[in-house]
């Protein structure tokens, strides 16, 4: 069995194969990234001390770490409060039912302020919704325009025109259109959620469309001939020949799209005041307390880390879907 690359040197070291080389390898794999991070933290804390703002010193790594813990504690406290709220309510309803068996209880939801963790969850939910719906639209369009040179030429100018548009340009239009069209008595989703989801979708689908189209268009001529000789019907042609050929390009597109989606989402939330990490940052900025900067910095780091995780997630998905298990994906 072949070991994952990053474990190999340890196994070899344990077996005593050429220890000097193994240690060098481990240093390269593990040591260098750690040194890089440490240098970054040192530069950060050094620079932070010398940046004076209206809210005090720029936060260094230690302050940020403390705030991160504070935010977690606040979330915990808030959860306990909600728990207590529901327990009180249940007790009250039970007491009432004893006296009056016909009483129809209504459970009122807890309305505390969303915590940092809640905002993360909201953002993730929004980005996933937008990304999944966007991909479901973008991949079929990409396949269609990849299959026909004429259609590609016709659609390409439109795509090229919209691809570079900043989400912030879309936002006001989307807000106006959504508030005009999405009126219902008991909306299933908040308008703000829909606005940010649509904005994210509009800014992120283009690279999936283009990459899918290119992947389909560059499917091997021989395989297309096979399909013709076998008289495959359009559905089989697409699912057995075109999509598998285009899988690597589709995933390249999806990864770019998801990266853009995540970046755009934060901006959209900030500007449209829709719940999520963007709003968290904006609220902290408006708040202007001495903790604000550290909290924003926590958000910045968390956003970066989640973006990184999302990309890894796509990579795992690609490895799972890809037929060529030997291909090196990074």
Partner 1 sequence: MDAYLELTDVEIAFPTPTVPFVAIQNINLKISKGEFISLIGHSGCGKSTVLNIVAGLYQATKGGVILEGKEVNAPGPERAVVFQNHSLLPWLTAYQNVELAVKQVMKNSSKAEIKDWIEHNLKLVHMDHAMHKRPDEISGGMKQRVGIARALSMQPKVLLMDEPFGALDALTRAHLQDSLMEIQHELNNTVIMITHDVDEAVLLSDRIVMMTNGPAATIGEIEEINLPRPRNRVVLTEDAQYNHYRQQVLSFLYEKQAKTEL
Q: Decide whether 137 or 223 has the Cβ nearer to partner 1.
A: 223
What is residue 56's three-state secondary structure? strand
> Does position 121 bind partner 1 by CB under 8 A?
no
> Does position 319 bind partner 1 by CB under 8 A?
no
CA-CA distance, 178 to 167, in Å (whole number)?
15
Greatest C-alpha distance within the chain: 82
Q: Indicate the burial class of 83 (C-beta count within 10 angstroms; 0-12, 13-18, 19 or more).
A: exposed
Q: Indicate the burial class of 171 (C-beta count within 10 angstroms; 0-12, 13-18, 19 or more).
A: buried
> Does position 244 bind partner 1 by CB under 8 A?
yes
Work out which of 104, 222, 286, 320 binds partner 1, going by CB under 8 A: 222
Work out which of 95, 102, 113, 323 binds partner 1, going by CB under 8 A: 323
State the nearest-atom distance from the C-beta of 254 to partner 1, in Å: 18
* Binding residue count for partner 1, defined by CB under 8 A: 17
Q: Give the interface segment with partner 1, choosing from 73-81, 184-192, 235-243, 305-313 (CB under 8 A).
A: 235-243
- Name the DSSP class of 270: H
Which sign does the torsion angle of CA 33, 34, 38, 39 carry?
negative
Work out which of 190, 225, 287, 289 binds partner 1, going by CB under 8 A: 225
State the nearest-atom distance from the C-beta of 15 to partner 1, in Å: 29
Which sign does the torsion angle of CA 296, 299, 301, 303 carry?
negative
Closest residue by Cα to residue 296 from 316, 280, 317, 312: 280
Q: Decide whether 241 or 298 has the Cβ nearer to partner 1.
A: 241
10 Å Cβ neighbour count for 41? 13
Work out which of 13, 151, 168, 232 binds partner 1, going by CB under 8 A: 232
> Does position 241 bind partner 1 by CB under 8 A?
yes
> Does position 326 bind partner 1 by CB under 8 A?
yes
Residues of the shown chain interacting with partner 1 in the complex, contacts defined by CB under 8 A: 220, 222-223, 225-226, 228-232, 236, 240-241, 244, 323-324, 326
């Amino acid at each position: 069995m072949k070991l994952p690359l990053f474990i190999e040197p340890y196994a070899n070291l344990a077996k005593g194969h050429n220890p000097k080389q193994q240690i060098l390898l481990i240093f390269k794999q593990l040591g260098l990234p750690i040194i890089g991070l440490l240098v970054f933290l040192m530069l950060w804390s050094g620079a932070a001390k010398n940046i004076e703002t209206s809210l005090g010193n720029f936060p260094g790594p230690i302050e940020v770490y403390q705030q991160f813990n504070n935010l977690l504690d606040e979330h915990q406290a808030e959860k306990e409060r909600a728990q207590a709220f529901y327990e009180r309510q249940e007790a009250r309803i039970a007491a009432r039912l004893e006296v009056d068996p016909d009483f129809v209880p209504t459970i009122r939801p807890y309305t505390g302020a969303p915590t940092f963790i809640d905002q993360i969850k909201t953002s993730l939910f929004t980005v996933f919704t937008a990304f999944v719906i966007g991909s479901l639209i973008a991949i079929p369009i990409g396949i269609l325009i990849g299959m026909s040179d004429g259609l590609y030429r016709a659609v390409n100018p439109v795509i090229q025109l919209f691809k570079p548009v900043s989400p912030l340009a879309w936002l006001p239009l989307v807000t106006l259109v959504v508030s005009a069209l999405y009126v219902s008595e008991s909306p299933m989703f908040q308008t703000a959620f829909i606005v940010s989801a649509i904005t994210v979708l509009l800014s992120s689908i283009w690279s999936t469309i283009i990459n899918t189209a290119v992947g389909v268009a560059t499917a091997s001529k021989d395989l297309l001939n096979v399909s013709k000789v076998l008289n495959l019907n359009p559905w089989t042609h697409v699912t057995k020949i075109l999509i598998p050929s285009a899988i690597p390009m589709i995933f390249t597109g999806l990864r770019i799209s998801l990266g853009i989606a995540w970046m755009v989402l934060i901006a959209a939330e900030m500007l449209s005041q829709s719940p999520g990490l963007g709003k968290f940052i904006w609220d902290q900025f408006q708040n202007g307390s001495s903790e604000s900067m550290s909290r924003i910095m926590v958000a910045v780091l968390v956003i970066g880390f989640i973006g990184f995780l999302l990309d890894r997630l796509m990579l795992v998905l690609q490895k799972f879907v890809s037929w060529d298990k030997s291909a090196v994906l990074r």
